[in-house]
Structure 1
Amino acid sequence: MAAYNVNVNAVCPGLIWTPIWESIARKRSQFGGSLETEGLEGKKLFDQTVKAWVPLQREQTPEDIGNMVAFLASDLAENITGQSINVDGGRFTN
């Protein structure tokens, strides 16, 4: 796409709270999770997962992802292409 002056990038979101975490919590209770997570409600399980997995220990939000997309779509990112950008509080590093 560079030949057409089009930048192509990917945004890789981290942990974002959605109602599916309620389903995950129910299934973990039903099928047995670890002792630390057994019986937790969705939001509590999500919060605990964020603290355990994300170095910055805070969840990502749809706004965080939207801000990165807006930046990549702006003239400020005119020389950024071919990248996968993690917006994940440091969970994954390249």
Structure 2
Amino acid sequence: MANWPFGTPWAKDLTDKERRIAAEHNRRHHRSVARIILPVLAFGFAVTSIDSFAGPKSNRSASIALGVCSIVCAGVFVALIKGDRGRRSLKRR
């Protein structure tokens, strides 16, 4: 469970320090999962968009929608990577 221990019966027994540590771990976990999932989704949407556009039963509006989804996923991935670089350089100082 990605948000463990939040939303479980054990959450009420956590101290403030443990709660902050768990929240930071969850944020790191969510960022790392997004770094894996977003490029896969962008590539999948792009391939499906091209296939839908060039296939025998082409659907232009679906192809455009999938292309937009691919671009959005790639953009969010790039923004996530750039944001992490800035965050790391600030921690080193």
- TM-score, length of structure 2 as denominator length: 0.31
Structure (1/2) with the larger strand percentage: 1
Structure (1/2) with the larger helix percentage: 2
Larger Rg: 2
